[in-house]
Structure 1
Amino acid sequence: MKRTHLPLNGLRVLDAAARHLSFTRAADELAVTPAAVGQQIRALEDLLGVILFRRTSKGLELTDEAAAGLDAIREGFLHFEEGVQAIQAGQSSHVYTIACPRDFFAAWLSARLAAFRNDSPHLRFALIGSDGETDFAEANLDLAVRWCDGPGDLEGIPLGPEGTLVVVGPDVADSAPWIAWPGDPAGEVDAHGESAREVHISVGDAGTAISAAAAGLGRVRVPRLLGEAAVAAGRVRALGEPEPGRRGYWLVAPVPQWRQKKVKALVAALQQAADPIGD
């Protein structure tokens, strides 16, 4: 039988049922129903062409054919466990690879990573600047920060408030022209096909847009977290109250990464620190 065709689920059920000599107790161990155990055993019997269990007056009994293969099957599962442990041990427990927008790193994440590292000076960070959906497998990421409306099919937590804030330089008029960036193009058109907002400059990200506003080049709508941090630092002033919205900064990762001990530690630290840097 080819390795790709090995009935691993069925063999795992066989091992549990053989140890307990009970479909019910095997089901409890495997967190399935006794009926599901019975179905797996019958399917395995059909595949292998042998009877694995007999019911007797004393209860469930292994057949000679089943008993003949159990030691090798159990040894195989032990090798699987050792292989998984070796894979996990190969992942560096002191290095974090994180994809993150550069402006978010400068305004929020850098200070939090520094605080997290204070208690564990051996930690190392590899940062990948990214404003999009960097592939976790290709970049070998542990975590990513994204400006989005939720984690999608990944596991994630929000970092700070959702929504946006309009900011402008301290000495700039409220009616200053708009600054555009990819997250807020500021160039929508109205029903007549004319620009609804006057845009005098376009930049690459929200952090640069805030710098442009602070320099007096106009006003800009930016993620609330970044805007409030810039206001707290005195670089810009807010025009009105924060605007609600579905988008915010999310810390995300696939479920396997999310369950790693080192990732859980960093997630917990960042979750506790999920307030604007000026607070």
Structure 2
Amino acid sequence: MKRTHLPLNALRVFDAAARHLSFTKAADELAVTPAAVGQQIRALEDVLGVVLFRRMTRNLELTPEAERALPALRAGFLEFEESVRLLQEAQGSKTLTLAAPRDLTAKWLGVQLAAYTALNPDVRFVIVSADDGIDFTQANLDLALVFGPAPNDEGIHGKPLGAETLVTVSAPGHASDGCFIRYPGDAMPPEGCSTLTVADAGLALDAAAAGLGRARVPALLAAADIASGRVVASGDPEPINQAWWLIAPTPQWRQAKVKALVEFLATRV
């Protein structure tokens, strides 16, 4: 019989009935009715073309064919159980591999992962840079954090960390400085001048803190530095059509470890 045609559920019922030599006890184990067990056994006998049980007055008795087949069947179920255990063990690994931009890791994500491991000391993280694009297959990633519009790649599911805004920050006492610090992806105000260009928003934030000018950066990156007084914000936050997204291939979201981390990070913004 082809693998795709194996009556696995009926074979499971047969195994239970053979262990108990009772449809009633097998039904109790499987949480079904004795009639359902009997129906499954009769259907299995029809499919296989053999008789599995002799129905005695008070109990059941296995036929010789059934007795010969049971050891191999039970060995097969043990192999199934081992396969399931290995699958769950792999998915249940306490190591999560994340991709994130360097500036997000430095300014926000690292602190959040430290808080998470304080609550879950057996969890380990591997962080790779997302600055040059993300390949979930090649990097064996569990989750990635990116900045931009809602993801629309086929097979990728995303959850936003919340609406994002841009804030203009500078070192204390430098809020009136005219020049902006530039970085790739930043749209400098038309009236703004620029005397410094850096690699990312995190470095722009650090340069602003050093008194090298003003920087327009995502509010999530600047929150800790504003709270500590390292930089000050001026003007009103600017709404944008971009956000920080947690993204992964749709099947990854079924992993318990991914769900737990996503739920935690969503509460930290």
Q: Of 252, 255, 273, which aligns to 2:250?
A: 255
Q: CA–CA distance in 2 between the matches of 1:223 and 1:173?
A: 17
Name the counterpart of 1:37: none
Hey, what's the Cα distance between the residues in 2 that align with 1:271 and 1:108?
13
Please say which structure displays the higher CA radius of gyration. Answer: 2
**Matched ranges for 1:119-138 at <5 A:** 119-138=119-138
Candidates 176, 179, 196, aligned match of 2:178: 176
After TM superposition, list the pairs within 5 Å mapping 1:165-244 onto structure 2. Answer: 165-186=167-188, 197-244=192-239
The 5 A counterparts of 1:8-157 are 11=5, 67=48, 83=83, 85-91=85-91, 93-153=93-153, 154-157=156-159
Whether the 8 Å contact between 2:170 and 2:209 is mirrored in structure 1 is yes
Deviation at residue 7 of structure 1 after TM alignment: 9.6
Question: Is contact 2:175–2:234 with CA below 8 Å preserved after alignment?
Answer: no
2:166 maps to amino acid: T
Distance 1:173 1:118 in 2: 37
Contact 2:181 2:213 in 1 (8 A): yes
- Displacement of 1:222 in angstroms is 0.7
1:161 maps onto 2:156 in alignment: no
Shift of 1:171: 1.8
Mean CA deviation greater in 154-163 or 106-115: 154-163
Change (3 A) 1:131 1:113: same
Residue 56 of structure 1 aligns with which residue?
Answer: none
TM superposition shift of 1:128: 0.8
Question: Contact (CA 8 Å) 1:167, 1:219: kept in 2 or not?
Answer: yes
Provide the alpha-carbon RMSD of the alignment: 3.5
1:167–1:82 distance in 2 versus 1, CA, 3 Å? same
Counterparts of 2:148 and 2:84, CA distance in 1: 33
1:53 matched residue in structure 2: none
What is the DSSP-based 3-state SS (H/G/I as helix, E as strand, rest coil) of the residue aligned with 2:87? helix
CA contact (8 A) 1:166 1:227 kept: no
Q: State the SS of the aligned residue for 2:266.
A: helix
Distance verdict in 2 for CA 1:76–1:149, change over 3 Å: farther
For each residue in 1:36-65, what CA deviation from the matched residue of structure 2 results, as whole angstroms up to 9, or x when unmatched? Answer: xxxxxxxxxxxxxxxxxxxxxxxxx97999
The residue identity in structure 2 corresponding to 1:169 is A
Amino acid at match of 2:89: A
1:179 partner letter: I
Structure 1 residues 77, 257: CA separation in 2 closer, same or farther (over 3 Å shift)? farther
Code of the residue aligned with 2:196 in structure 1: it is: I
Q: Letter of the aligned partner of 1:198 in structure 2?
A: C
1-structure distance, mates of 2:130, 2:240: 22
**Which amino acid in structure 2 is aligned with residue 146 of structure 1?**
V
Work out whether residues 18 and 62 of structure 1, in 8 Å CA contact, stay in contact via their aligned partners in 2. Answer: no
Q: Which runs of 5+ in 1 are unaligned?
A: 1-5, 20-60, 189-195
Q: Which runs of 4+ in 1 moved over 6 A?
A: 14-19, 61-65, 75-81
Which string of whole-angstrom CA distances, capped at 9 and with x for unpartnered residues, describes residues 82-138 of structure 1? Answer: 545523423462111111112212221122211211122122111112224311111
- Matches of 1:255 and 1:80, distance apart in 2: 25
Sort the Cα spacing of 1:77 and 1:158 in 2 relative to 1 into closer, same or farther, 3 A.
farther
SS in 2 for 1:247: strand
Which shifted more, 225-234 or 199-208?
A: 225-234
**Percent of counterpart pairs with the same letter?**
44
Alpha-carbon separation, structure 1, partners of 2:246 and 2:185: 18
- Aligned mates of 1:169, 1:123 — CA distance in 2: 37
**Counterpart contact for 1:157–1:251, Cα < 8 Å:** yes
CA deviation after TM superposition for structure 1 residue 229, in Å: 2.8
Q: Which residue of 1 aligns with 2:23?
A: none
